[in-house]
Structure 1
Amino acid sequence: MLILYGSAKIHLKHPTPDMKRNLVCLLQLSRDLYNASIMEISDSYKRFHALPSYDELTENLKSRKEYQAIGRKYSAVIIEALSNCKKYFRITQYRTDKSKQLLDKKNLNKIKPPCKSKIIFPVLLKNPEIENGFLLLPATNQTPVLKIRLPSAYAHHQIMRIHLHTSCNFRNWELIIEYPLQVIENPNLNVHKVLGIDLGVSNFCTCVTNAGDSFIVDGRRLKSIIQGYCKYEKKFHSHGKGTVRQASLQRKTAYRIRDYLNKSVKYIINYCINQHVHKIVVGWGIHFQTFELGHQNNQIFSYFPYAVFVKALKTKCHQNGILFLKTDESFTSQASAIDLDQIPAYVTPTEQRFSGHRRYRGLYITKDKIKINADINGAFNILRKCNAITDPDMIRLSSRGLAQPQRIHILSSETAPSFPNK
């Protein structure tokens, strides 16, 4: 049975000087153990050409001062995270006869700088204790038991793991908690209904079903948030790093973006449940955010958190019994869905020719001079790539009005989804 975990970020507002001093010390102890574990793994690989297991790594580190200083509860999670790291398995596969280097520097976890540096490894802890609405961080040789008040919505959750980290020169403190999610069964979903999603900028999510229903999640508000952040970040960065206003700007911008993404995911999931959609297909490209689109477009496009959105959507799909699938989005914007152009599965070195073309921004012209929305055309091609829509259905849908889909403004009071109490 698949076990799903949800996460919530809690901002620690105005910690006392003693609390802040103890948290910084705890982060430094965590970083010291991280460095010791990295050195132990590296030495073991150099000597035996094999990676140590979790038990071997724990046994070798028990006698070191870094392990004894932070304690068993913290160290167990850090060592487990490093012993299961897939980057080290890539090293053994990457070795070739031509390469005489034992370790590839690009694939190695880097040693964190010494204690005077501001780069700190986050604190990890499994199954923390909760007492009267307070999260208890166990004591170490240098810090007492720390109490952090939890919001009432999470005070009675079964917390499986916590992740404490800081940023902006110890001005922003965040506690990430992970807790199990309850899987919701939706027996009314139709296995033949599929929703295709094409990701963009001004049109953040262009969604279309294999029945021809379509809507666009507006992305211009999110674009404005990112543009404003880049503008003021440049201004504050010129005056110096780590200012109070810069820390506040980063925190508030992250909250606004997270709120926008969560509401977008919630709206799409509610739409699928109401329309009995059983599967969601998202067009995805590994390097599609690295294209050269010009200075201004690169600034916006590279900041858009598509991976965060797709991950949140995938989790919500699994929670509500909706199938989730990612497919390569190569040539989906160029091929004509109505003309049934053949779409290559991946990027090919040869130049491809298609029936239709883009005449204006956002408007696609087919071979028969039919005008449709360019992103709707891309979403239909995403459905065609995964065989979610047949050619006869595509011909039948070509007679429908596909030029002006409904635009959804997520932050408006009329379309904003309601969130139940946790």
Structure 2
Amino acid sequence: MNELHHALKMSPDYQALPAKVSQLVLKQVEKTFKSYQKAKEQYKKSPDKFTGEPKLPRYKDKEKGRNVLTYNYQAISKKALKQGLIKLSGTNLEFKTNLKEVLEVRIIPKLGAYCLEIVYEQPSSSSQEGERYAFIDLGLNNLAAVTSNIPEFQPTLVCGKALKSCNQKYNKTLAKLKSELPSLQKTSKRIQGLTLKRNCKVDYYLHTASKYIIDKLLAHQINLLVIGHNQGWKQNLNIGDRNNQSFINIPHSRFIEQLTYKANLVGIEVKTTNESYTSKCSFLDLESIQKQKSYLGKRIKRGLFRSSSGYFYGADIKYLGKIIYT
């Protein structure tokens, strides 16, 4: 890192930024290459854990290339912060804020626009006592099915059809715009604007849904949230081309991240669990979660499951029952 710093510190690009910011750019480059080297070593030992061979980080385009720019607390004006403003060193950029302390500010390029991320510390609440658990199963038409081991907790389904509709409209418009591009052109300002608008809509919906869920858990004094999730589930998905596309376009990992940090802020612990075979094993029959020669229960139709004893119940709630059972 020191060698890289001394080799580049006199370059015009390095000097165009405040010294602290330029050093952070070099640290990002160093971190990227170290991550690549580590992934390369792991790939040689266990290639089955990867979807493909790790690739060497590439150069950004000299004119169009954009990268994340990070300003740490040393490159943020303390005087301006006391006046309710975030002012970045070496720029005319100012943003109103009610924060008294800021750890860092990130300027992130996103499809023809820039997003500002402000990082600050917020103390988390102490966790609740007792065995009060909640469980979430993620899906497509139902973005999330939520239940609990608390009797007074009413199972809740969070609709995912709005996201599905948004993605379908986006895919249709995107295909039309791509068909109008010249043969060697891959994107356009209209495509970038369309994608940015779609991403903002999805992110807003996920934030709203995750806040709704966490508020409900907090109202019932839940202290542990368990989320069903399978590593690499989207790469191996086979539910038909149309459903595959809709499911893959919904960023469930982002949703899990939002649920996790919002839960931690209010003192709720979060765990993820593997939910393989939960779609076929019968919860009411206490059937073990593994591949069976023949299964005790049966899915009658979409969203409806029947146990061997003849009881009918929702498929999403059945998945949650199996997660609880494990």
Answer yes or no: same fold by TM over 0.5: yes
Distance 2:223 2:138 in 1: 20
Report the Cα offset of residue 59 of structure 1. 4.7
Q: Name which structure has the greater RCO, CA cutoff 8 Å, separation 6+.
A: 1
Q: Which amino acid aligns with 1:357?
A: K
Partner of 1:75: 22
Q: Is the 8 A contact 2:40 2:53 kept in 1?
A: no
Aligned residue among 134, 137, 141 for 1:198 = 137
The structure having more radius of gyration, on CA atoms, is 1
- Indicate which of 220, 225, 228 corresponds to 2:169: 228
Aligned to 1:208, what secondary structure does the other structure show? strand
- Compared with structure 1, are the counterparts of its residues 59 and 94 closer, same or farther at alpha carbon in structure 2 (3 Å cutoff)? farther
1:211 corresponds in structure 2 to 150
Structure-1 separation of matches of 2:130 and 2:39:
38
One-letter amino acid matched to 1:257: V
Cα distance in 1 between the residues matched to 2:145 and 2:136: 5
Quick one: distance in 2 between partners of 1:56 and 1:175?
31
- Note if contact 1:191-1:279 (Cα within 8 Å) is conserved in structure 2: no
Whether 2:113 is the aligned partner of 1:172: answer: yes
The 5 Å alignment of 1:248-327 reads: 248-290=193-235, 291-327=237-273
Q: Paired residue for 1:23? A: none
Q: Deviations over 1:81-121 (max 9, x none)?
A: 3434433223344457xxxxxxxx943441214414x2322
Match of 1:160 in 2: 103
Post-superposition Cα deviations, 1:297-334, rounded to whole Å, max 9, x if no partner, equal 11101100101110111111111111100011101121
Letter of the structure 2 residue corresponding to residue 232 of structure 1? T
Count of residues paired in the alignment: 306
Distance in 2 (alpha carbons) for counterparts of 1:110 and 1:282: 33
The 1:319/1:167 distance shift into structure 2, 3 A limit, reads closer
**Quick one: distance in 2 between partners of 1:357 and 1:146?**
64
Q: Tell me if 1:353 matches 2:294.
A: yes
Structure 2 residue identity aligned to 1:266: K
Counterpart amino acid of 2:302?
R
- In structure 1, what is the Cα distance between the partners aligned to 2:104 and 2:61? 27
Q: Which residues in structure 2 correspond to 1:93-104 (within 5 Å)?
A: 93-95=42-44
Is the Cα–Cα contact under 8 Å of residues 110 and 196 in structure 2 kept in the other structure? Answer: no
Determine if contact 1:112/1:120 at 8 Å carries over to the other structure: no
Seen in structure 2, the aligned counterparts of structure 1 residues 360 and 258 have a Cα distance that, compared at 3 Å, is same
Q: Given the alignment of the two structures, is residue 146 of structure 1 paired with residue 146 of structure 2, yes or no?
A: no
User: TM-score if structure 1 supplies the norm length?
Assistant: 0.66
1:258 deviates by 1.5
Percent identical pairs in the alignment equals 24
Give structure 1 stretches of 5+ with no counterpart: 1-53, 97-104, 139-144, 345-349, 386-422
Give the root-mean-square deviation of aligned CA atoms: 2.5
Deviation string 1:41-77 (CA, Å, 9 cap, x unpaired) is xxxxxxxxxxxxx445445544666544545212221
Deviation, 1:190, is: 4.3
CA contact (8 A) 1:193 1:277 kept: yes
Does the CA-based 8 Å contact 1:191-1:278 persist in structure 2? yes
Answering whether residue 288 of structure 2 is matched by residue 342 of structure 1, we say yes
Q: Secondary structure at the match of 2:101?
A: coil
Distance across 1 between alignment mates of 2:130 and 2:230: 26
1:137 aligns with 2:88: yes
For residues 6 and 188 of structure 2, what CA distance do their matches in structure 1 show?
43
SS in 1 for 2:282: coil
In 1: Cα distance, 2:36 partner to 2:57 partner: 11
Counterparts of 1:155 and 1:263 in 2: how far apart (Å)?
Answer: 22
Query: Taking structure 1 as reference, are residues 250 and 149 closer, same or farther at Cα in structure 2, changes over 3 Å only?
Result: farther
Query: Which residue identity does 1:268 align to in structure 2?
Result: I
- Supply the AA of the counterpart residue of 2:232: H
| Shift in Å, 1:382 | 1.1
1:373 aligns with 2:307: no
**CA offsets 1:163-186 (integer angstroms, 9 cap, x no match):** 223344xx3222222222232335
The AA in structure 1 aligned to 2:59 is K
Distance 1:79 1:109, change over 3 A: farther
Alpha-carbon distance in structure 1 between the residues aligned to 2:156 and 2:259: 17
Given that 1:269 and 1:316 are in contact with CA atoms closer than 8 Å, whether structure 2 keeps it comes out as yes
